[in-house]
Amino acid sequence: MLALTGAPSQADEAKPVVLAQFQLDGADASGAPLTAFFDRTLSGTESYEGNKSAVYFVSQVDPSKILLLEEWESKEDFDAYLNWRVERGDFAELTSLLEADPVLTFDER
């Protein structure tokens, strides 16, 4: 059997993973302030305890619409991380760049 590079092992697949999905509508039509924010801050997300990955995608139709996907070991890890971002002022900065409140959903593997 051929193993794909980067594919999760069977042991990894057995562990629960929480996917936090943010749908974001930027106030700026170009989307540039949002992408600059994430380019600057996602390294802190990726290094936070319990984070497995964090990546954003820009809509091909409307660059002000961004989908942010974060994988976490648990919802508790995500909640601790979000509280950290709120305390630092990062979440307030993010919401100042948005046209509307973010839509956040959680899924589990």
State the pLDDT at residue 1: 37
State the pLDDT at residue 16: 83
State the pLDDT at residue 66: 98
Q: How many whole angstroms separate alpha carbon 73 and alpha carbon 71?
A: 7
Cα-based distances in Å from 56 to 10, 39, 46, 78:
26, 9, 12, 17
Residue for token digits 């948005």? 98
Q: Please answer whether residues 30 and 63 qualify as being in contact, where contact means their C-beta atoms are separated by less than 8 angstroms.
A: yes
Residues in CB range of 17: below 8 A, 6 or more apart: 52, 71, 72, 73, 108, 109
The pLDDT tens digits of the residues spanning 9-67 come to 555 566 789 999 999 999 999 999 999 999 999 999 999 999 999 999 999 999 999 99
State the pLDDT at residue 7: 53
State the pLDDT at residue 45: 96
Q: Please answer whether residues 25 and 55 qualify as being in contact, where contact means their C-beta atoms are separated by less than 8 angstroms.
A: no
For residue 107, give the H/E element and its range.
strand 103-108
The pTM score is 0.84
Token pair of 55 as six digits: 């990546």
